[in-house]
Every structure is written in C-alpha cells, then in structure tokens.
Amino acid sequence: MFRKLIFLIPLLSLGLVLQACGIKPKPEESCNFVQNGDLQRVSWGAQTPVIMYIDSKVPGEFFESIQRAADNWNKAVGREVIKIGGWTDRVPVPRQDQVNVIYYLQDWESNKENEQARTTIYWGGDRIYEADIRINNHNFEFFGGSEPIVGRVDMESLILHEMGHVLGLGHTNLKNSVMVKSLPHATEAVPGSAFRRKLSGDDTSSVQCEY
C-alpha cells in the first residue's frame, strides 16, 4: 500500500502579514494536488527541476527504473520537472536537510509493514522545499526490467507513483491512474498486473494543471 507522510511547516511571518492586510488567496481547483488551508495547490512552483539523489544503498540495477519514472513525468509536463542527480552517501538516513533523496531501507516500522514506500514532503505556504522517498526493503522485494518476478514489486511503477507525491499529487481512486493507493506484486496467474508504468490521461492533466 502506498502511503505518504506530509509535514506542514508554517511560514508564520507570512501568515501574520496576510492576516494583518486582510489578504486571502483565492481557492484553486485541486487537480488531485495536496492543498493547504487556503485551498491552494502545494507544489514546487517555478523551483524546478526537483533534483533527486539516489542513496548508495539502492541497488544499481534499479537506476534505469528510477530514471524512466522521472522521464515519464517530464514528458507529461513537456519539460524537466524531476532530475536525477546521481548517487550519494552524504545523507545516510532520511531527515529534513534540504536534500531530496531516494532511500532503500532495511529498517521499517513494524506497525507499517504493508507500506511498499513512503514519500515525505516538507512545505510552507503553497511551496514544497524538500522531498524524500523511502523504499521498504524490509518487507518487500523488487524487480526492474521488462520481465516480472513473481512475488516482487515493480520498481519503476513504485517510483513513478512516489514521484507523483514528490511533485505534490495525492492519491486517487481513478481507474488506471498511477496515483491509486495500492500496487500489486507480480503473481503467477497475472504477472503483468505488477506494471503501472504509464501515466493515465487523468495523471497528465493533473500534473499539467500546476506545472
């Protein structure tokens, strides 16, 4: 199951100024984005591309899967909104540190063992300023490439979903969307069910609404 943890970091000084001046932003259509208290879409705005680094513990075999996921979102927007910055070992654990990292973790909370991955975004007002993706390697195994492996989760499909969260998108129940909450693993009966590598028309229109 995909789940996302979002931290709201209020910009207190800005809030006080707006309150004093009586200025209230006009609500925006959500377009499946997370929204703040004023119903503004939460995103990176013009601060793109988002540079995401890959922690050195992520197996090298998954680099292409991660890059293809980023390329998928970039193609939908028509410009580079996510850029893979390469490998890093500078930030060994997830934390609020102004660096966007994809982690591959053996340590995972026992009460959240059904999470395949989790994306944390840090934001203030209507702007995201940091995002980290955690991949649950304690409870799940993954595969890359074109051939499904029974019992494993497709890395490209997983990262495509999580990068949607990085950009500010929430979950949806719309059929065929990559932002649906759950992603099945490959089974002997339906091995291809593990794939969700293409953005739907709804995904494309949602991300274009903001970017």
Integer angstrom CA distances of residue 78 from 82, 84, 208? 12, 17, 9
Domains and CATH numbers, the chain: 2-202 (3.40.390.10)
- Check whether 33 has a pLDDT greater than 60: yes
Q: Name which residue leads in pLDDT, 88 or 13.
A: 88
15: number of Cβ within 10 Å: 14
**64 within 8 A of 141, measured Cβ to Cβ:** no
Contacts of 59 (CB under 8 A, 6+ apart): 104
Per-residue pLDDT tens over the stretch 118-171: 999 999 999 999 999 999 999 999 999 999 998 999 999 999 999 999 999 999
pLDDT at 191: 65
pLDDT at 23: 73
**What is the average pLDDT score of the chain?**
89
Kindly state the average pLDDT of the residues 95-124: 96
Kindly state the average pLDDT of the residues 75-85: 98
